[in-house]
Amino acid sequence: MPVDAAQLRSALAGRLPAVDPAWRAAVEAVPRELFFDGAFYRARQGRRGTEWEPVVQALIGDDEWLALVYEDSTWVTQIDGADADWSAGVVAAGDATSSSTLPSLVVRTLEAAGIRDGDRVLEIGTGTGYSTALLSHRLGEKHVTSVEVDRALAARAAAHLAAAGYVPRLIVDDGLDWRDEETEFDRLVATCSVRSIPTSWLWQVRAGGTIAVTLSGWMMASGLLRLTVGEDGGAQGSFTGEPISYMLARPHGHPPRPTFFRHEGEVRPSRVNPVLLDDRAAHLVAQLAAPSAELLGSGDEVTLLDVATGSLAWTEAAASGDGWSVHQYGPLRLWDQVETALAGWQKTGSPPLSAFGVTVTPDMQQSVWMGDPEGPSWRLPA
């Protein structure tokens, strides 16, 4: 018996976490299959790391295709800024730069924005257009503006949306910098993550309006943040604590780096267990303490690599079998920075991610704080 797409949509909507029934209705109404062009990539582990395997509707058949489309999964549609050549086979390396994000994550992000009937919403990152369609169904297309930096993606998203029966306002521009001089929005929702809050976003949202965005960084720690814009032009809010992440906005991604070597450096015992970085809040604290570093590895063998200076820190179990050693090389003592921040986090009781928040002052100074706005804080990178 052929698979019924409407039944699959209904089942997907039923699996969503507790949300506003209006979002369930949107998921049930919007045909997700229209937001792919008959193919996508899924990740698999290859000999040299992540590989990208094309999944093509014409090859696997409609039933299997629809079953995959209506999984609550993220399916990659672009790698390294280039649209895939589905006939080229497996792509051996590369970073995903666009995808159809799993519906439950999209809905939780829209929920975090506090969207209500009649709201004017600005979406940053149209992508395939699926989240734009959910917004259009929920609010009416006249209340939705979506900005996409990639011209080719924007054109395909417009076609997808039209096929689904939606014609919202679509802008091709850099959503981190674009500004509508005539419209003040009630809500802003970003389907990409950022290292700091773009100034233009605060100008676009009315006082009392909200911004829902994932704050992330080069260590790939992330958290969903809901900010409320103040009368003074600043903003403040807290992390929801949910395990949510989006791809970094392209201008916020880390620069390319050459292959690195594990230089011996200076060696000393570590005062904290590197396994701490597996905790989401500790991971964020480490990223805040060393914002220009990448994190490689996991468990008690991690490497921090500063992409600006080449500074390096790497950990291993101590030769004595008791505790851990850290090697530090280069002008920055990365583990010193991270270790001090983690020790402070532990001293306050190791609070969860939901205990952290962000303040943006009217003059655009931005900081993440722990506990309350007057508590320990770290400046966000410019």
3-state secondary structure of 121: strand
Check if 222 is active-site: no
Q: Cα(92)–Cα(98) distance, rounded to whole angstroms?
A: 17
From 98, 131, 193, 311, the catalytic residue = 98
Nearest by Cα to 104 from 73, 139, 68: 73
One-letter amino acid of 359: T
3 state SS of 285: helix
Q: Which two tokens stand for residue 39?
A: 């193919």
Q: Give how far the C-alpha of residue 252 lies from the chain's centroid of Cα atoms, to the nearest Å.
A: 11
Cβ neighbours of residue 273 closer than 8 Å, sequence gap 6 or more: 300, 324
Give CA–CA dist 91/111, Å, rounded: 35
- The tokens of 191 are what? 């389907």
Report which DSSP code applies to 91. Answer: B
Local structure of 240: helix, strand or coil? coil
Q: What is the rounded CA–CA span in Å between residue 303 and residue 295?
A: 6
Ranges of H-type helices in the chain = 5-15, 21-29, 57-60, 62-69, 103-112, 130-139, 151-164, 199-204, 280-289, 334-347
- Indicate which residues carry an active-site annotation: 98
